[in-house]
Structure 1
């Protein structure tokens, strides 16, 4: 029995250190591995013209504890990709891959890929991207103006940039805009990559209340683009607010209907009156009631029980004594089912 125990103990003493040593070696292998990390993997060059050369440096760092080896950099996109720094990157050291892309005769939005191969076990192949828009003669930034909701009396200014991206010298002759809504000013600009004109478009305080859907026209010297139209949207708010601005009656079972309400109120201590309310929706009646001491009105809408099955569509016209909002229109729609 003692001899058997001695054999077991000797076997344990011989093989146990080997097992531990093997585990330690595997752990060390996992600890001392490279880890490549890029500052960015996608570069957007924005807007460029044809026959332009675009260059960008993709910076990376070895954040692991083992030596990083860049095996190769490939650019099947037609770009030129070069590893500027050493292909062997010790832990904590940074590197740079320089990419040059020529726009040539490209047109429109494009994305090109560059592939980096390394000894990083988690990401042996990394895809870098370069993207943007190639224009032929000019670029407009933004391509439309949206003023959003604006209180009547406010002055809000938005800026357009007309950018020269072609070989033809760009000249902005004049800006055509609705005088009752806008005032404009023009100045030239030049930065590291672009030059052109900056147009400041200001919404006048006297602009009438209601939805704004206009077009500003830029007159240029470009043969193919003598006129450039810029859509403009917005909503000028008056002192009277209507809720909802569009009313859905929903699905209505023929012969039964729960009344719906439209709320009309002032935003401040402004006193106003509803002169009358009209509906052009068949079988839809309206009733106006004033909520005392709240400067608020409620318009109750009711569908006639005799209304036939089918769609309801039209508008409620609210007439007030406010000269800025003498007429307020609320679209109405619904469906009567059997």
Structure 2
């Protein structure tokens, strides 16, 4: 935001006041502004502003926590909070994801520095939400942590989205490949592949040890008018986890 004197008499002085919203910034910040005037010799002047932003409560490594991968392999993550101005205590934790995320607070330096440990509890599925840390700091009464999880069960499938078919500018027809794997190395069988047979052709190839399958996914372009795309899904069922429906979103393109 800028405030300035619009009219400056010959030989006089004017004032330009610039204010910068530094919410969400940390560390060194550089901003710029350009002043335009009717001075024929200096019609444009550039101004530079620089600052070092020290948050009242520093959150390291950041205020976003992401859990991703097989449930058995996801490790707890820690976030450290340190007050840069005055004493601070974490007085309460409000966990909006208490069914899938466990939290605990560890004191590293009383009134100064704390560690918040977050642990994934979900066995499978995706979630997102917030953990709110309430403090007694008079200028920073709360710190909000954004938490997301993308958790695979014992049998995982990747990728979870594919693009197959023919795209403009490329002569090749694009074929997709999907890996279905048991993270513990246990042998299993694919008992059902559910997909639109008018749009897709899917071939399952068991890998050595039968703890994984590769699915080759090809488009049947005769069912997709030129210049269009269609969205469909490939669903996989196994004998070890028949209740789970592993799913891949497939975009069939014909351009």
Match of 2:162 in 1: 247
What is the count of residue pairs matched by the alignment? 207
Measured on the aligned residues, the alpha-carbon RMSD in Å equals 4.0
Q: What are the superposed Cα offsets for residues 241-277 of structure 1, whole Å, 9 maximum, x if unpaired?
A: 4344432215358xx9575443323344423333433
Gaps of 5+ in 1: 1-105, 113-129
| Cα distance, 1:293 vs structure 2 | 6.3
Whole-angstrom distance in 1 between the partners of 2:184 and 2:106: 40
Gaps of 5+ in 2: 1-20, 31-49
Residues 1:201 and 2:121 aligned together: no
CA contact (8 A) 1:163 1:195 kept: yes
Per the normalisation by structure 1, the TM-score is 0.48
Q: Cα 1:230–1:111, aligned 2, differ >3 Å: closer, same or farther?
A: closer
1:59-208 alignment, distance < 5 Å: 108=25, 109-110=27-28, 132-135=52-55, 137-147=56-66, 149-154=68-73, 156-167=75-86, 169-177=87-95, 178-190=97-109, 195-204=112-121, 207-208=122-123
Q: Cα 1:294–1:306, aligned 2, differ >3 Å: closer, same or farther?
A: same
Residues 1:273 and 2:189 aligned together: yes
Q: What are the superposed Cα offsets for residues 133-169 of structure 1, whole Å, 9 maximum, x if unpaired?
A: 322x4332232344554442346222212222345x5
Match of 1:229 in 2: 144
Aligned to 2:76, what secondary structure does the other structure show?
strand
Per the normalisation by structure 2, the TM-score is 0.61
Q: Cα 1:318–1:222, aligned 2, differ >3 Å: closer, same or farther?
A: farther
Match of 1:303 in 2: 219
| Cα distance, 1:327 vs structure 2 | 1.8
Q: Cα 1:335–1:223, aligned 2, differ >3 Å: closer, same or farther?
A: farther
Higher relative contact order (CA 8 A, sep 6+): 2
Q: Cα 1:267–1:195, aligned 2, differ >3 Å: closer, same or farther?
A: closer
CA contact (8 A) 2:105 2:116 kept: yes
| Cα distance, 1:308 vs structure 2 | 0.8
Match of 1:336 in 2: 254
Higher helix share: 1
| Cα distance, 1:230 vs structure 2 | 0.8
Larger Rg: 1
CA contact (8 A) 1:279 1:285 kept: yes
CA contact (8 A) 1:183 1:203 kept: yes
Whole-angstrom distance in 2 between the partners of 1:297 and 1:155: 23
